[in-house]
Amino acid sequence: MTRVNIEIDDELHKKAKLNALLQNKTLIQYIHEALEVKLKEDGKKK
């Protein structure tokens, strides 16, 4: 596994954190799943 430091807007962080909590996930799990979904979507466009 690779660790990545990223900067995100405060408002985006708040929304992501809230959505993660509502889904009973950690923020890291939520971001990981969001990245997987985006990669699949991008792959279908090619």
Render pLDDT for 1-46 as a digit per residue (tens, 0 to 9): 889 899 999 999 999 999 999 999 999 999 999 999 999 999 887 6
CA nearest to 2, candidates 36, 22, 42, 32: 32
- Dist CA 41 CA 20 (whole Å): 21
Give pLDDT, residue 44.
Answer: 85
Give pLDDT, residue 46.
Answer: 63
Encoded tokens for 32: 């990981």
Give pLDDT, residue 36.
Answer: 95
Give pLDDT, residue 27.
Answer: 95
Give pLDDT, residue 34.
Answer: 95
- Identify the residue whose tokens are 């090619």: 46
Do the beta carbons of residue 23 and residue 34 sit within 8 Å?
A: no
Strands (E), the chain: none
